Amino acid sequence: MTTPLRIALIQMNIEAGNPEANFAKMEAKLAEAAALEPKPDLLVLPEMWNTGYALTEIQTLADPDGERTKSVISAFCREQGIAVLAGSIAQLRGEVVTNTVHIFDRTGAEIAEYSKIHLFQLMNEHLYLEAGDVPGIFDLNGVPAAVMICYDIRFPELARKLALDGAQILFVPAEWPHPRLHHWRTLLQARAIENQMYVVSCNTVGESGGSSFFGHSMVIDPWGEVLVEAGEEETILVAEVSLPLVDEVRGRIPVFADRRPHLYD
């Protein structure tokens, strides 16, 4: 893709345990982002935006098979002609709940989904959620892309696998809390630099479920330079991503050609 990809990140406050309020806010924010000029190509939501970390109630709050989320987002995409990476939701699958991203193209077709592989024990995710087991690689308007969720970025081997599988842009919906802002910035920039790809991260803000979230959603280029970064308030952050830069960076510093994987196992 030679035309820049215009991306809008919806950094929003999430009300833990109140899906009705969160759906209403999400729909209002999508409409606000769709009205921007020039119109974005893609909108990105944060992690667990439908329920927040109300984990003790998650079985009753989770979206059964993601049907409500998929219906609302798909209709929006069809009407607006905009693709949406729908953050992640608490999704009920049979008797288990997963932390799952759904991704839709501008026609409203679901093109991919991904469930969080690494569960964060510090917030007791492993007690209430089922881990995914399939990496999140997909094609976005001809662009090889990938998605990880929040805690996943602490696992560089997953990001490297996604890059080796062709990803040129990595999306990271998150609910990353205080006091680990330094970790957030450093890990995201490291994933961009070591894999020579764009990293597009969308965090949440405010108080939710007993934790405080600092925002600082950002877009990082393949050199590790922060193109845009939000503060700690609700906002819609917009950036344009030029995909030819990925090939340029990978050509100038041939990290992938210089790998010696037989020594790493």
Catalytically annotated residues: 47, 116, 150
Read off the DSSP letter of residue 177.
Answer: B
State which H helix or E strand residue 126 sits in.
Answer: helix 125-128
**Residue 156, H or E segment:** helix 156-164
